[in-house]
Structure 1
Amino acid sequence: MTEKQQIKVDHTYQGKRIDHVLAQLNPEASRSQVQSWVKDGHVAVNGKPVKNNYKCQLDDLVEWQEPEPEDMSLEPENIPLDIRFEDEHLLVVNKPKGMVVHPAFGHEKGTLVNALLYHCDDLSGINGVNRPGIVHRIDKDTSGLLVVAKHDKAHERLSEQLMNKEIKRQYEAIVHGVISHELGTIDAPIGRDPNDRQKMAIVDEGKPAITHFSVVEKFNDYTHVSCELETGRTHQIRIHFKYINHPLVGDPKYGYRKTLDTDGQALHAKTLSFTHPINDEDMMITAEPPKIFLDSIEKIKRMT
């Protein structure tokens, strides 16, 4: 089981169904998952189990604990990995566009975890058997750097750095439109889209989300930007740039229907900076964007 969480109901959630509230508070979980938590007794209001149609009252104490997903049969797969750093404690891998980070229903094979299991004898077990070694994630069609822990001590210390905002993650993206200013910060809370459970959105009751950005180069109808995450919400960069009316090029979920063919969003996790969890050495790993990203820049230049 994961760590128990709790909130005291305020006016934001007063009168709302418990499954709706939990879905907003747990944006990475589907509505059906949340409803199963309630049904299976993993949710309590004022110390007592409730049904999914329970409507929250002011000052209710809501407590819940997300159950671990059912174990999948993970198989090591001989998939090439672009490893940028490795020692006995961790590795930093440059994930290609199109690869899912860890197995889930519909993506049981061909994931980064399957490749890691073939490459490594040991991976940390803190995130459960379905996500061995995985400290943080990036989307399937986002390329770039991820740090992977080989044992629990390294994982704990890396997770602590992540929680304390000590791991710096710098991305590059291509967005629609010309951003008028050179620097900016987008500070807007992110949660599950109330109108589409398959999407995230800017919502008042969402979790805090902050993205800093700078302009790398401007073109007639596009802008190449560098972004640094202060928080790490699901789809954060994609949602934030949509929010300021500069959606990412190629983004099938949050972008324009008419866009460049970049095989998914033009987003790359370029630089990862952190303190080595065992020897305290300052680490900075960099991986340049993939060919499809660079080719898109050249195509835009020819259009300009």
Structure 2
Amino acid sequence: MTRENRVMPVPDGLGGMRVDAGLSKLLGLSRSVVAEMAVDGDVLQDGQVVGKSDRLLAGAWLDVTLPEPPRDLAAEPPQHVEGMNILYSDDDVIVVDKPVGVAAHPTLGWDGPTVTAGLAAAGFRISTSGSPERKGIVQRLDVGTSGVMIVAASERAYTVLKRAFKQREVTKTYHALVQGHPDPTDGTIDAPIGRHPSAGWRFAVRDDGKHAVTHYSTLEAHRQATLVEVKLETGRTHQIRVHFSSMHHPLVGDPMYGSDPNLAKKMGLVRQWLHAVSLGFPHPNGGFMTVTSEYPDDLDHALQVLREVNGV
């Protein structure tokens, strides 16, 4: 994509201002974007590259190369997604088995495979409801989480399912392998979740966070780790990972939230052990429907290794 280039004099009113602050006003871009442009050498003043904290000189000539415009997320091309299987479909709903490494829909920070592109490549029609880049999406799973995910195929299904998720009429069940042994073995974690104060891409239990409730029960207890069944009452970003980490029982294979990399390595894991095993929802035609998903090969292998180590 060709980047736009602009040449212009520095207005008198901006003389003496920092490059990032002055160009932010002049170009209508955020100060952080201008700062990044300066770091990349895309801002010249009288033919010389200037830094973000340098000063603008009134009347000097600016030669600025603008960043690429954001891509049109709504114009996502169809793309076959390896390993994404259809668990159930009809005229209203499509239930997919989402592999790890696949996002629900396109975002500016993600250019990898998506559920929406995979469905388009497979010839499925998706509801047009929702924002352009999230058409038909009523539920999301993290890129690093595999398992059952539902997409609305019809407009009425989009309305019904969005309401069902909002009113907590959907049952979301996950299996997770956590380090150590949660105490009690069956219980509820009721702790608000918000963005981590020092890392915006992480989340943490915070007093000022959003209400979050996780119910869990033990399925298998081994010396190093415990397989738990998790039912979510709320659906916060990274909820299961954050809640178990807050109990000092992070998911195996989840170093972002404090797991032991050596244990994951011994089990052959390169991602967190977390899988959406079933999803129950009110179908637009009436009645309640539940769809399940088997463990993918990598998670199944890791669990088998753990069982063998513990003589099971």
Task: Confirm or deny a common fold (TM above 0.5).
Answer: yes
Q: Counterpart amino acid of 1:290? A: P
Structure 1 length-normalised TM:
0.74
1:260 counterpart (264, 267, 290): 264
Structure 2 length-normalised TM:
0.72
* 1:75 counterpart residue number: 77
1:293 counterpart (275, 294, 299): 299
2:204 is the alignment partner of 1:201: yes
- On the 8 A contact 1:71/1:129 being kept in 2, the answer is no
Find the residue that maps to 1:157 and give its secondary structure: helix
Distance 1:239 1:199 in 2: 9
Structure 2 CA distance for partners of 1:129 and 1:284, relative to 1, 3 Å = same
Distance 2:90 2:104 in 1: 21
Structure in which a larger fraction of residues adopt helix: 2
* 1:272 counterpart residue number: 279
Matches within 5 A, 1:1-304: 71-72=72-73, 73-80=75-82, 81-258=84-261, 259-261=263-265, 262-277=269-284, 279-304=285-310
What stretches of structure 1 move > 4 A for 4+ residues in a row?
A: none
Distance 2:246 2:192 in 1: 11
Q: 5+ residue gaps in structure 2? A: 1-31, 34-69
- On the 8 A contact 2:102/2:112 being kept in 1, the answer is no
- On the 8 A contact 2:177/2:251 being kept in 1, the answer is yes
Q: Pairwise CA RMSD of aligned residues?
A: 1.8
- On the 8 A contact 2:253/2:272 being kept in 1, the answer is yes
Distance 2:184 2:143 in 1: 30
Q: Which has the larger radius of gyration?
A: 2
The Cα shift of 1:71 comes to 3.5
Identical residues among aligned pairs (%): 38
Find the residue that maps to 2:134 and give its secondary structure: coil
Find the residue that maps to 1:250 and give its secondary structure: coil
The Cα shift of 1:128 comes to 1.5
The Cα shift of 1:105 comes to 2.4
Q: Counterpart amino acid of 1:71? A: D
Distance 2:256 2:100 in 1: 16
Q: Counterpart amino acid of 1:296? A: A
Distance 1:139 1:109 in 2: 13
